[in-house]
């Protein structure tokens, strides 16, 4: 389930599931698709490292699964390192909750209702009938197939990485079924079914606040319009009997404690962007991408594409311990042996990158009558061999070289820019407003978003000891 439809100009690797027909197929199809795409999720989005929270989410999920009866799948619950509030499922029992959704949850019931919805998608095998949506700029499709196969045949290493990705949506009937059966499953496990409507509403409000765009009803959209969906869930919840069963969290304080420390915004562990500057604190380097290009960062790659999609730059680590020079020599040899290609000496160039030699080659190939230039630059960052791949139609070679030569070790100024934005739970004072509490506790969120994230009205007057979620900026380097 995409809890909220949102186009994202990020090059998360394609997650769309291949279309298969009918329920007559064996469940090993689901397991195969799930296992394959689970690897893609881990590589492109990254799993979020929060053991305490994951243990809690998994325990909640397994309780819900028990009430499904006999299952052909073994359900596996994961936290995904995604700031967008979302949850989604892959065939075969792979269920993911984003850290962005966790920071918006205010009760165990809300979280359980979302997870229950995803369990139904798996149980009813909705994913195998999803329509594949492939959004790939043409410039990204050609050269990567050569580069990825020349050295190690690792298709996960190719540079034709999409800059746009939309997780394929379910049909409205499938979403409605997941809502209907999901809230029944939640109620059977002791959770308030109507709280799915609450968190869906808060997700919608949070995205409207962040984007400045109001959610609009569209008859062309596969995804149910949130207000109508909320209305339906509330109506369906009225007649559902709730099983008496204790929650895993003893109270609200216990629930919020399980979310304490969750990151909001970019996770510095994967590096951060400060405008067009990318800083990776753990690998100790900074790189400047061209200004005004669309940038993105995944666990495997970081890069940028110009707004007209006429040029692209991607930086990634090479799975090799070779020096840049030795790796280039092997690459040339592989080109010669596999593709009978010999590089023109003029196509090679040596660069000065962070005080060491970098090695660049340029290849030209034709794509639909146009010449596409592929520039590959290998250099060292510490003990790690890196590859910067630049593709363009001839206008951005200088920008690609400048980007590579901008790589430097972190300065004191760079380190000061890296901050953790983490969730903290604080106590309010009697009669305090959300705005006043935020000022007192240096809340990163503005009052509007704080009210949404806590399920409150912006003009709420707080009571002594009320527990409020805020985001606090803390230095990464201490």
CA distance 470 to 453: 8
Q: How many domains, in total, are found in the chain?
A: 3
Are residues 209 and 242 both part of a single domain?
yes
Are residues 192 and 298 both part of a single domain?
no
In a domain, 296, yes or no: yes
Query: Which residue range(s) make up the domain with 466?
Result: 418-475
In a domain, 1, yes or no: no
In a domain, 184, yes or no: yes
Which residue from 284, 185, 277 is spatially nearest to 240, judged by alpha carbons? 185
SS3 325: helix
**Predicted confidence (pLDDT) at residue 224 exceeds the cutoff of 60:** yes
Are residues 218 and 275 both part of a single domain?
no
**Cβ atoms of 398 and 349 closer than 8 Å:** no
Q: Which of 415, 446, 466 is the last residue of a domain?
A: 415
**Tell me, what CATH number does 395's domain have?**
3.40.1000.10
Are residues 333 and 244 both part of a single domain?
no
In a domain, 147, yes or no: no
SS3 452: helix
Q: Which of 363, 391, 415 is the last residue of a domain?
A: 415
SS3 341: coil
Q: Kindly state the average pLDDT of the residues 296-307.
A: 91
Are residues 363 and 429 both part of a single domain?
no
Are residues 206 and 293 both part of a single domain?
no
What radius of gyration do the chain's Cα atoms show? Answer: 24
**Predicted confidence (pLDDT) at residue 164 exceeds the cutoff of 80:** no
Are residues 87 and 187 both part of a single domain?
yes
CA distance 84 to 6: 9
In a domain, 43, yes or no: yes
In a domain, 6, yes or no: no
Kindly give, in sequence order, each residue whose CB lies less than 8 Å from that of residue 86, ignoring residues fewer than 6 positions away.
2, 3, 4, 98, 100, 101
User: What pLDDT sits at residue 131?
Assistant: 43
93-112: pLDDT as tens digits: 999 999 999 999 999 999 99
Which residue from 120, 109, 105, 116 is spatially nearest to 64, judged by alpha carbons? 116
Question: How sure is the predictor about 150, in pLDDT bands with cuts at 50, 70 and 90?
Answer: very low
175-223: pLDDT as tens digits: 888 899 999 999 999 999 999 999 999 999 999 998 887 766 544 344 5
In a domain, 323, yes or no: yes
Work out the number of other CB atoms within 10 angstroms of the CB of residue 391: 27
Q: Which of 395, 415, 435 is the last residue of a domain?
A: 415
Largest CA distance in the chain: 77
Of the chain, the percentage scoring pLDDT greater than 90 comes to 63
In a domain, 213, yes or no: yes
């Amino acid at each position: 389930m995409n809890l909220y439809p949102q186009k994202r100009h990020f090059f998360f690797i394609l997650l769309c599931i291949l279309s298969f027909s009918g329920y007559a197929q064996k469940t090993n199809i689901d397991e195969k698709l799930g296992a394959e795409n689970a690897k893609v999720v881990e590589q492109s989005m990254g799993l979020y490292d929060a053991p305490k929270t994951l243990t809690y989410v998994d325990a909640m999920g397994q309780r819900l699964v028990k009430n499904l009866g006999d299952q052909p799948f073994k359900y596996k619950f994961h936290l995904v390192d995604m700031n967008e509030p979302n949850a989604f499922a892959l065939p075969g029992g792979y269920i993911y909750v984003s850290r962005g959704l966790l920071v918006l949850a205010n009760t165990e019931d809300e979280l359980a209702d979302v997870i229950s919805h995803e369990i139904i998608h798996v149980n009813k095998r909705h994913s195998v009938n999803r329509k594949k949506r492939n959004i790939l700029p043409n410039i990204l499709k050609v050269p990567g197939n050569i580069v990825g196969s020349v050295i190690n045949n690792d298709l996960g290493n190719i540079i034709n990485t999409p800059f746009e990705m939309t997780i394929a949506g379910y049909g409205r009937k499938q979403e409605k079924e997941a809502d209907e059966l999901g809230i029944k499953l939640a109620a059977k496990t002791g959770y308030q079914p109507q709280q799915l409507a609450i968190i869906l509403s808060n997700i919608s409000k949070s995205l409207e606040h962040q984007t400045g765009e109001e959610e609009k009803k569209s008859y062309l959209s596969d995804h149910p319009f949130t207000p109508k969906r909320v209305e339906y869930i509330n109506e369906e919840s009225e007649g559902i009997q709730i099983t008496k069963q204790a929650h895993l969290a003893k109270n609200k304080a216990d629930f919020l404690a399980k979310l304490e420390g969750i990151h909001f915004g970019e996770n510095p562990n994967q590096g951060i962007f400060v405008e067009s500057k990318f800083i990776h604190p753990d690998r100790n380097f900074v790189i400047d991408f061209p200004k005004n290009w669309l940038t993105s960062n995944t666990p495997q790659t970081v890069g940028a594409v110009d707004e007209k999609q006429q040029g692209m730059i991607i930086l990634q680590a090479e799975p090799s311990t070779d020096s840049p020079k030795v790796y280039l020599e092997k690459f040339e040899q592989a080109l010669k042996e596999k593709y009978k290609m010999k590089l023109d000496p003029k196509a090679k160039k040596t660069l000065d990158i962070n005080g060491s030699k970098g090695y660049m080659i340029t290849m030209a190939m034709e794509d639909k009558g146009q010449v596409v230039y592929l520039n590959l630059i290998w250099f060292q960052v510490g003990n790690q061999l890196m590859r910067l791949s630049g593709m363009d139609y001839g206008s951005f070679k200088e920008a690609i070289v400048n980007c590579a030569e901008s790589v430097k070790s972190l300065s004191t100024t760079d380190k000061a820019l890296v901050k953790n934005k983490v969730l903290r739970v604080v106590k309010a004072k009697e009669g305090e407003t959300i705005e006043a509490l935020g000022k007192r506790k240096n809340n990163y969120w503005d009052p509007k978003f704080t009210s949404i994230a806590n399920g409150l009205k912006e003009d709420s007057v707080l009571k002594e000891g009320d527990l409020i979620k805020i985001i606090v900026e803390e230095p990464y380097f201490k």
